[in-house]
Structure 1
Amino acid sequence: MTMDDGRRVTWSKASLIVTAIFLLSLSSSASVAAHGRSSKRFVRSYDEPCKKMRLYLHDILYDYSNSTANSTAAAVTKPTALSTAVSKSGYFFGRVVVFNDPVTEGKALPPALEETAVRAQGLYLYDNKEDYTAWLAFSVVFNSTAHRGTLNLIGADPLAEKTRDISVVGGTGDFFMARGVATIRTDAIEGFKYFRLQMDINLYECYV
């Protein structure tokens, strides 16, 4: 065996060792992730929720007159030609708003809007020419000691109704594969700048 052959054998063994360590680390990570869920029981029940939460979403729309630091939502489209031609004043048909709102367990607005551990991130759009209604699509993002992960919500929001139901279509982390219904109602409103929504989230498929 030549010196070059010896070097090739040495590098080959080193490569095998590195590959084995890499595969072992992947296997360990997967095992830890799986164990977090395997220690819990997946429940599917349509009679009684497996998990309940009441949360408050604080939406502060920027309209050029309020502080940018205290705003958590912004319109990303101008009034459409159809909106100005046929919609009654204030219905904003076709308007899209993107938001990154603080979410709290109580009604009080948090002092640090950008540092809350739970947030709602997504969009809503006004989808009716003759009435004040919206369509929602957003994630509730949890990053606290109690919960980590997301819940994904989507559905129609006819604002004139006292309560509205939207779907919980999935989740990640502590809410992996969660499904259910969120009943929302407008708990407070100040002009067109501040909205507080109460969300009663009932999950019917979840790990417990």
Structure 2
Amino acid sequence: MRTSVFTWILILCLSTISAQSNYHSQHDPEEPKLTNLHFFLHEAPGGSNPTVAMIAQSNITVDVNNSSMPFGTVYAVDDPLRVGPEPNSELIGNAQGLTVIIAGRSTPPSVLLHFDFGFTTGKFNGSSISVLSRNPTTDMERELTVVGGRGKFRMAKGFAHLKVYSANATVIIAELNVTVIHYEGRSEI
């Protein structure tokens, strides 16, 4: 009898505690936004002021596909983002991140890239979009996956359509059309 009374008292106390708890999630009435962006990435893998630097290379000495980009090489990237393809067009941010060369083991050659498109001017100043995607380098046009963002691009998801605008040994210019669904971050962070 004592055990069953004690059990009932314990059940009532625990249900009262959980009912008064504020640990549950709250609904945010903010609706997601759809944003389309258009800009140009300017990459300088060579020349006097490169924006790409090798930071690690695999110890594999045999390259199965005879690629100019050895399998397992990791590069750090800090490419300017500009309004236009001209080198003197307005700077709006940087694409910073890493690329891992997987060309030596795959056909067609490709890289795995993780970029943070960080914006430094305009409406999206201080915000960024994160891309993590396989990037088949032989395709002139390709689609990259948007996996997140911060600031005005909080919880972003979407895609980036990348088209090679021009390329030579020292400069690669890519046109990007990015479509993201996101929740605009609040300023009271």
Same fold (TM over 0.5): yes
2:147/2:156 contact within 8 Å kept: yes
Which residue of 168, 173, 176 maps to 1:196? Answer: 173
**1:101-158 CA-partner distances (Å, limit 9, x unpaired):** 100121111389xxx4411000112113254211110101112132121111110011
Q: 1:56 to 1:88 in 2, by over 3 A?
A: same
The answer to whether structure 1 residue 57 and structure 2 residue 41 are counterparts is yes
Q: Percent identity?
A: 21
1:81 corresponds in structure 2 to: 60
Does the aligned pair in 2 maintain the 1:94–1:127 contact within 8 Å? yes
Contact 1:73 1:98 in 2 (8 A): yes
Q: How many residues align?
A: 155
Superposed CA offset, 1:139-182 (max 9, x none): 01112132121111110011122321111111111212221111
Cα gap change, 1:200 to 1:145, in 2 (>3 Å) = closer
The match for 1:72 among 21, 38, 51 is 51
The aligned amino acid for 1:92 is P
Which structure 1 segments of 5+ residues have no match? 1-37, 45-49
* Of 84, 88, 91, the match for 1:110: 88
Given candidates 86, 101, 123, the residue that maps to 1:126 is 101
Q: What SS does structure 2 have at the residue aligned with 1:174?
A: helix
Aligned with 2:122: secondary structure? coil
In structure 2, the partner of 1:186 is: 164
CA distance in 1, matches of 2:143, 2:110: 13
More helix by share: 1
Shift of 1:187: 1.5
Q: Show CA shifts across 1:37-85 (max 9, x none).
A: x9x94226xxxxx1101111111114xxx31xx2211112346424x44
> Does structure 1 residue 42 correspond to structure 2 residue 31?
yes
SS at match of 1:86: coil
Runs of 5+ consecutive residues of structure 2 not aligned to the other structure: 1-27
Query: Using the alignment, how far apart are the partners of 1:79 and 1:194 within structure 2?
Result: 25
Q: Evaluate the alpha carbon distance shift between residue 181 and residue 89 of structure 1 in structure 2; reply closer, same or farther with a 3 A threshold.
A: closer
Q: Which runs of 4+ in 1 moved over 6 A?
A: none
SS at match of 2:176: strand
